[in-house]
């Protein structure tokens, strides 16, 4: 698998330098969000707002009012937890064209509860006027910049940083989910880093005779309920969602709502954080500990189909382990 | 509880231990040890009235987050002594100083050196960003700017309960950029909360570099006084001055000691990385080897033995 180093850095610089109305805002996490090179080379398009996120959000609302399209960079959590009120009043309600670039989504950070955005999707998708996107590979990180900027209103994006695998060769298009396999036993719905997990599981599952239909979502709002229902109706056993997020309010909930509204009776297993906070640790450890990895998906498939597959850890391809201090990591916390 | 070691010796040992850890792991919050070693050593060794640790010397593994299904959940507060009416409480507001705080716990005999071997290892409680369940941490503070508010509430409550123990917060200067810090000082002054005090590590640094380049904060002392705190300013590496400042009476108001520090104190070689000091990770084996020798010499200790690779 090809790994791309810091795909956001290059993509943002290439795009922003062509669009003078785009501004780069940072809240004291400039290199952690891969915009340090941009700051150094394009200081006129860069605004340092310091560690003061509430102000940054309302400030961005003002920039939007003046006709600019600010891209806000921080860890995902710091873009909505403390400044939620500012997000509502200064950005979402007036439909400012503010682009919230949330780095280190879910358990991709070892920083523990205060750093892990585990309810951001559920919060963001309930906000009227918001668009919610999530990048799942290097190609999507690269294309999310320009794509987010086409939205006439605010956008929240979950961004991957550092060394990111390239899974796709076509750009992210808002509203276009990716159909990664067209099996007819089980429907698996993933987004972000869980797509890579599901791809690993799929290989082993198909060798074990389970035919998986796999959808990768990059647009979480607007949510294409009709397509989800169509895919769900074409599988025999049911649906599994696997998300780097709490199962409440995120992709599992969206799929459940879609099935219920369509009156389509299908069993649904929602994998992700089950009404718990996570804690600090490496990404592979956290994904295993909280049941969000390829093996957890295999076990859920077994529950759904009632068959054991014989798949164990060894049958799944090796997990990528990035050392916390390795050089491919963008920066520390 | 007073240690047999002098506070000066503890501060030096904190720097040495964080240095060794950083060299061995090729990364760490090293400059925070330079700026804050005396402050944490002072708090644990003489500034605070802490009872003996109630926790095992070797930290137990992570046992889950707070929930109704986890009745055995404990925070790391026990490392700071029993929670009773007479003893002080300590919050480490910038939780990324955890490495320095853990080193301090070891030097004052509250944690075994093995505890630091667990740092940032999966399944342990000795987390990189100090969590509520990490040794010496009493509440979650990794989101900066909330520590002083929580401490003010605790202090108000303890006063109402008749506790004689006080509440202390170790703060970072980056926190003054967050509006909540000012709301907290305002509330503490308004309510006359004087069993509350803080030492702030004023190293003038933040993640992006020098604070003046990132977001100017002006004269912190004047601003804090205007918001109602009693403020003392000291050289963070001058322990007699720190002792005197901490003893300043502050009836009806919180006390905040601004400890003006140098982010490379004791490790001048780190200046070659300025202004990128927030998280030290060596860019090459060569830099790591050179820093190992140079800083060890400055600290007067032997360089860390690195395995060949
Ligand atoms: C609310 C919030 N915003 C952003 C961060 C990310 N962050 C961690 S440390 C830090 C700033 C560091 O400055 P300071 O607190 O002065 O610490 P020091 O430079 O002394 O390490 C930032 C922005 C955070 N932890 N919390």
Domains of chain A: 6-165 (3.40.50.970), 178-328 (3.40.50.920)
Question: Is B28 inside any structural domain?
Answer: no
Instruction: State in Å: Cα B110 to ligand 1 middle.
Output: 27
The CA R_g of chain B, rounded to the nearest whole Å, is 19
In chain A, which ranges are E strands?
Answer: 3-5, 22-26, 46-48, 69-75, 99-103, 131-134, 155-159, 163-165, 178-182, 186-191, 212-217, 219-221, 238-246, 268-273
The answer to the question of residue B124 being in a domain is yes
* Lookup: tokens for A140: 């999507």
Is residue B184 in a domain? yes
Q: Which residues pair with A47 in a beta bridge?
A: A25
Whole-number average pLDDT of chain A: 95
Query: The domain spanning residue B120 has which CATH number?
Result: 3.40.50.970
Q: pLDDT digits over B42-87, tens only?
A: 999 999 999 999 999 999 999 999 999 999 999 999 999 999 999 9
Pairs across A and B, CB distance < 8 A: 113
| End-to-end CA, chain A | 26
Residue A102 has pLDDT above 70, yes or no: yes
| pTM check: above 0.90 | yes
> Cβ distance B88 to B28 under 8 Å?
no
Asked if residue A158 has pLDDT above 60, the reply is: yes
Query: What mean pLDDT is predicted for residues A32-37?
Result: 98
**Mean pLDDT (chain B, rounded):** 96
Q: Return the residue of B nearest to A47 by Cα.
A: B214
CA B223 to chain centroid, in Å, comes to 23
List strand residue ranges (DSSP E) for A84-211, in order.
99-103, 131-134, 155-159, 163-165, 178-182, 186-191
CB atoms within 10 A of CB A196: 21
Q: Token digits for A322?
A: 């990035």
pLDDT in tens, B124-172: 999 999 999 999 999 999 999 999 999 999 999 999 999 999 999 999 9
pLDDT at A281 over 50: yes
Residue B298: inside a domain: no
At B230, which helix (H) or strand (E)?
strand B230-235
- Per the CB < 8 Å rule, is A31 touching B122? no
Cβ of B214 within 8 Å of Cβ of A114? The answer is no
Asked if residue B237 is part of any domain, the answer here is yes
Question: Whose C-alpha lies nearest to ligand 1, atom 18?
Answer: B206
For residue A264, the CA-to-ligand 1 centroid distance in Å is 48
Q: Is residue B221 domain-resident? A: yes
What's the pLDDT score for residue A319? 47
- The whole domain housing B139 covers 34-57+75-265
Mean per-residue pLDDT, A67-85: 98
To test the contact with chain B by mutation, choose from A73, A81, A114, A278 the residue with the greatest count of B C-beta atoms within 10 A, namely A114
Is B299 a domain residue? Answer: no
Distance B34 CA to ligand 1 centre (A): 17
In contact, A239 and A74? CB cutoff 8 Å: no
Q: How many domains does chain B have?
A: 1
Decide: helix, strand or coil at residue A242.
strand
B307 belongs to a structural domain? no
**What pLDDT score does B308 carry?**
61
pLDDT for position B275: 87
Cβ neighbours around B222 below 10 Å, total: 10
Which numbered atom of ligand 1 lies nearest the CA of A74? 4
């Amino acid at each position: 698998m090809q790994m791309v180093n810091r795909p956001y850095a290059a993509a943002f610089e290439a795009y922003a330098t062509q669009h003078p109305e785009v501004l780069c805002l940072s809240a004291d996490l400039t290199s952690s969000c891969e915009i340090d090179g941009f700051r150094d080379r394009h200081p006129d398009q860069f605004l340092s707002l310091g560690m003061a996120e509430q102000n940054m959000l309302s400030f961005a609302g003002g920039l939007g009012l003046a006709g600019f399209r600010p891209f806000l960079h921080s860890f995902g959590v710091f873009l909505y937890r403390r400044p939620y009120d500012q997000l509502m009043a200064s950005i979402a309600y007036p439909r400012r064209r503010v682009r919230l670039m949330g780095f280190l989504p879910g358990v991709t950070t070892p920083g523990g509860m205060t750093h892990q955005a585990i309810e951001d999707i559920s919060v963001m998708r309930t906000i009227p006027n918001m668009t919610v996107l999530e990048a799942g590979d290097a190609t999507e990180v690269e294309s999310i910049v320009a794509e987010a900027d086409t939205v006439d209103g605010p956008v929240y994006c979950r961004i991957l940083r550092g060394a990111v695998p390239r899974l796709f060769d076509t750009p992210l298009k808002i509203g276009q989910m990716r159909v990664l396999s067209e099996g007819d036993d089980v429907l698996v719905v993933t987004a972000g880093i869980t797509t890579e997990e599901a791809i690993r599981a799929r290989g082993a599952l198909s060798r074990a005779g389970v035919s998986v239909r796999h959808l990768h979502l990059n647009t979480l709002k607007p949510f294409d309920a009709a397509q989800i229902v169509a895919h769900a109706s074409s599988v025999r056993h049911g649906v599994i969602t696997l998300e780097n997020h709490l199962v409440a309010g995120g992709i599992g909930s969206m799929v459940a709502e879609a099935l219920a509204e369509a009156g389509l009776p299908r069993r649904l297993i929602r994998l992700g954080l089950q009404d718990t906070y996570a804690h600090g640790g490496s990404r592979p450890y956290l994904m295993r500990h909280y049941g969000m990895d390829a093996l957890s998906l295999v076990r859920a498939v077994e529950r759904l189909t009632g068959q054991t597959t014989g798949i164990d850890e060894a049958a799944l391809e090796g997990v990528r382990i990035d050392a916390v201090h390795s050089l491919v990591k963008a920066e520390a916390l | 509880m007073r240690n047999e070691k002098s506070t000066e010796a503890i501060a030096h040992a904190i720097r040495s231990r964080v240095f060794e850890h950083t060299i061995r792991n090729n990364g760490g919050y090293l400059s925070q040890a330079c700026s804050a070693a005396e402050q944490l050593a002072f708090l644990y060794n003489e500034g605070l009235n802490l009872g003996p640790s109630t926790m095992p010397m070797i930290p137990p593994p992570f046992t889950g987050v707070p929930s109704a299904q986890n009745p055995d959940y404990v925070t790391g507060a026990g490392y700071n002594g029993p929670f009773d009416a007479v003893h002080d409480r300590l919050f480490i507001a910038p939780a990324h100083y955890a490495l320095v705080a853990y080193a301090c716990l070891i030097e004052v005999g509250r944690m075994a050196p093995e505890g630091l071997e667990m740092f940032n290892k999966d399944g342990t409680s000795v987390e990189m960003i100090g969590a509520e369940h990490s040794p010496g941490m009493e509440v979650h503070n990794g989101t900066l700017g909330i520590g002083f508010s929580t401490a003010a509430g605790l202090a108000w409550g303890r006063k109402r309960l008749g506790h004689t123990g006080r509440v202390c917060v170790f703060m970072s200067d980056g926190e003054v950029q967050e509006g909540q810090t000012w709301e907290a000082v305002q509330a503490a002054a308004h309510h006359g909360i004087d069993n509350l005090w803080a030492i702030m590590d004023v190293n003038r640094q933040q993640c992006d570099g020098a604070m003046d380049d990132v977001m100017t904060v002006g004269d912190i002392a004047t601003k804090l006084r205007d918001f109602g705190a009693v403020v003392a300013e000291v050289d963070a590496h001058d322990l007699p001055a720190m002792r005197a400042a901490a003893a300043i009476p502050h009836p009806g108001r919180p006390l905040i000691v601004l400890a003006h520090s140098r982010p490379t104190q004791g490790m001048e070689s780190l200046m070659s990385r300025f202004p990128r000091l927030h998280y030290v990770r060596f860019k090459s084996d060569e830099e790591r080897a050179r820093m190992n020798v140079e800083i060890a010499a400055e600290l007067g200790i032997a360089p860390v033995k690195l395995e060949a690779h």
